Structure 1
Amino acid sequence: MRDILEAVAAGDLDPAVAEARLSGYTTTGAGRFDAARETRRGVPEAILAEGKTAEEAATLAVAAVRSTGRAILTRAADDHVSAVVDALDDAVAFDRDDRARTLVAHAPDFDPPDLSATVGVATGGTSDAEAAGEAAVILEEMGATVTRVEDVGVAHLGRVLDHLDTLRDADVLIVAAGREGALPTVVAGLVDTPVIGLPVSTGYGHGGAGEAALAGMLQSCTVISTVNVDAGFIAGAQAGLVARAVSDARTETDEPTGADDA
């Protein structure tokens, strides 16, 4: 602790970084940023921009980059993005996904994680791409390799079967679907991989806001796990934790034994 305080006094350490190291979070006028979440939980902290002003999102993004070297914003509108870009240093690298409504900012010295694991992200239709894209961004930030399989809804089962080898090659799958939410159930019956169902609020009429998709996945007779409607971040984080466990197991298996070293 003394070393941290002395570094702050000497101007060698940003107070936000010092606070994050001492307490695990940093406090701003827009709220607290959980800088230690990735170390504690294995999942990077993300800033939900929806419901925040552009200035609040930018304040939290600055705190995130200062304390962790990275900021991840979800449900970010154009005004959030503009405010964040203006608030951060020119050396920061940005990656904006308009469809997924995400923004990722990396400081120049940020060292991204790298997992030896692949996660497949499949969608029933093009309308499911927003939630699926949010999941994919989180997975990439956790270090997983992401394979996308788009528009393979069960209205034509042949579309799924055409990509079956790709789906089976993944270490874990996220399957996003709206309407009646049948796709994750079908996929889970064809693969020996953990499947996370991501219900999406696409459709219309009775149950059209994602309720029918959620209920269908919860009632699946095949073995799947299901997150809440449009919860791309949660699906991505859950799949990322599985991917990290797979990667750790592979790393341990690949380590040379004492006999091999001899």
Structure 2
Amino acid sequence: MRETLEAVADGELSVAAAEARLSGYATTPSGRFDAAREHRRGIPEGILAEGKTPEEVRDLAEAAVETTGRALVTRADETHRETVESTFTPTAATVSVDDRAGTITVTSEAFEEPSLAAAVCIITGGTSDYPVAGEAGAVVEAVGADCTVIQDIGVANIDRLFDQLAEIRAADVVIAVAGREAALPTVVAGQVDGPVIGVPVSTGYGHGGDGEAALGGLLQSCTALSVVNVDAGFTAGVQAALIARAVDEAAESRK
């Protein structure tokens, strides 16, 4: 504690960074940022923009960058993006935006990007499923795993899947994102020897088209896979990231 207090007194550490180091979180006018989550869980804290004002997202993103070196924002709309970009563009931080996925990643100049010896493959039944897949991908990339996204290989024309099977099988973990009846994750889980995370998506229409049919289909899958909630790209990304970390640690232990 003394070392932290001396660093604040010498101007080497901000008050927010000191608070995060001592208590595990940073307090902002817009809420508390869990600065210790990555150390505790191996996954960086995500800032959910949905339901927050642009100013609230900005406050939390600033706290994230100040205390951890980076910020990961999800479910961001155009106003969130514009506010975050205008805040960080004048600084030395790097801002990466995926408009379709609604994600914003901000990294400070001094931040050291992590790297894991593990590969995650994210596949989608249709191109319309990408926003959820992109959200998952942002989490996977944040932990430093190799991330490949293959779109539009739904089983309506199963040849599109078989053409990509070699690359999918090479991954340590697969995230399969699909709407409608969500047949893709079930089929893929029967074709690969690694874990598959099924993500039901609300891209259908009519009865069950809000993702209910996709979720029900995955819960009743005849092949072994894990299932997250409808449109839960972030959750799927976290699960895949944790598996990727375990793969990396296992590889390191064998050296």
Report the TM-score range of the alignment, normalised by the length of the smaller protein.
over 0.9
Shift of 1:58: 0.2
Question: Which residue in the other structure is 2:25 paired with?
Answer: 25
Give the partner amino acid of 1:220: S
Give the partner amino acid of 1:49: A
TM-score by length of 1: 0.95
Decide which moves more: 2-11 or 47-56: 2-11
Number of equivalenced pairs: 254
Using the alignment, how far apart are the partners of 1:87 and 1:147 within structure 2? 30
Larger Rg: 1
Shift of 1:151: 0.4
- The correspondence of residues 128-139 of structure 1 with structure 2, limited to 5 A, is 128-139=129-140
Using the alignment, how far apart are the partners of 1:243 and 1:2 within structure 2? 36
The SS at the match of 1:35 is: coil
Structure 1 runs of 4+ aligned residues shifted over 6 Å read none
Shift of 1:204: 0.4
Identity of aligned residues (%): 59
Using the alignment, how far apart are the partners of 2:174 and 2:12 within structure 1? 44
- The correspondence of residues 171-182 of structure 1 with structure 2, limited to 5 A, is 171-182=172-183
Runs of 5+ in structure 2 lacking a partner?
A: none
Shift of 1:87: 2.4
Give the partner amino acid of 1:171: D
User: Residue deviations 1:97-140, cap 9 Å, x none?
Assistant: 01111000000000111000100000000110000011011100
Shift of 1:251: 1.4
Using the alignment, how far apart are the partners of 1:110 and 1:10 within structure 2? 22
TM-score by length of 2: 0.98
Question: Which residue in the other structure is 1:74 paired with?
Answer: 74
Question: Which residue in the other structure is 1:125 paired with?
Answer: 126
The SS at the match of 2:159 is: helix
Using the alignment, how far apart are the partners of 1:39 and 1:160 within structure 2? 37
RMSD: 0.8
User: Residue deviations 1:167-200, cap 9 Å, x none?
Assistant: 1110000000000011000000111110000111
The SS at the match of 1:174 is: strand
Using the alignment, how far apart are the partners of 2:113 and 2:214 within structure 1? 34
Using the alignment, how far apart are the partners of 1:208 and 1:48 within structure 2? 25
